[in-house]
Copies of this chain bind each other. A is one copy, B any other.
């Protein structure tokens, strides 16, 4: 069993820096379309064998040290009694968006072990046969709510913010509902065999530090504290605003995931070297050829400086323009150039 990532999450020495990529199981892989056939995403997700094949697909292209679940944050909406469609360019669109405080009460409490059993089934299949850890994930409540308040995503970070400022009590009920649900879902993923869980807050960067602290952080913290209590290793990822980093670190997570907007060494100093850090290659480099990508990876490794607790990743998800051959070169480069460190550590 490859335990590099779990060791790095505990800040322990590793034989090489662990590598995985957000959105590694998806459109950047040529065989992805083939595996999907023409099925819709939700249809594939409800077929654990089909979904597990997509989760494991990156290993055919590059030797990552963790498999992140093929899933979408919007599966949680189905559990709460909402219907969802994926609109290109908008993301998940729910049939009954939250527009007024009274809409919050209509959300249905549910047990994710029952309503989302197909996700836990996928994890059980993978955990039984793969030799790298399976990484579960949940959305942070703020990010989930950007897709729920007023429906579609396009302008609704603005609308989500307007809702929370106008009706802070209703916001607390809404974000609290999701914090409880998402914490339970994250624990269920760990029970099914996920070795760690990433909580990701892709829209937090649209907030000022004061708004993040008031409206987003308490709910993310509730999830991370629950997972810490259950001894589930966690990664807390945000993107879009380096000024939030001190608060993001305070909210919790064994590792803090950062994007490329801030250099990794500065980010790690802000987070504190006693915590693990994940990041932070610009994923656009995978569309720019091997030379540029390797140079970018070398810069990230230089800033990590061989310190235990670094998980190599992109600063946001892989995009359809990423070249799998370039990704493979980067994974090999990270493993090869950090293997030296492991040997020194063992000497």
Contact = CB atoms under 8 A, between A and B. Distances in A.
Contacts of A158: 283-284, 287, 319, 321
A261 B288 contact: no
A79 interface: no
Interface string A311-327: 00000000101000000
Interface string A138-175: 00000000000000001101110110011000000000
A242 B242 contact: yes
A288 B208 contact: no
A209 interface: yes
What is the total number of copies of this protein in its complex?
A: 2
Contacts of A292: 162, 165-166
A249 to B, nearest CB: 15
A218 interface: no
A322 to B, nearest CB: 9
User: Is chain A's interface secondary structure helix, strand, loop, or mixed overall?
Assistant: helix
Nearest to A163: B288
Interface residues of A, number: 37
B243 A159 contact: no
Given A89-B154, A159-B321, A242-B243, A210 B288 contact: no
A209 B166 CA distance: 35
A166 B319 contact: no
Interface in A225-282: 240-244, 260-263, 266, 282
A299 interface: yes
A289 interface: yes
B159 A299 contact: no
26 contacts: A89-B154, A155-B319, A155-B321, A158-B319, A158-B321, A161-B284, A161-B285, A162-B285, A162-B287, A162-B288, A165-B289, A165-B292, A166-B292, A205-B261, A207-B261, A208-B261, A208-B262, A209-B261, A209-B263, A211-B282, A240-B240, A242-B242, A242-B243, A243-B261, A243-B266, A244-B261
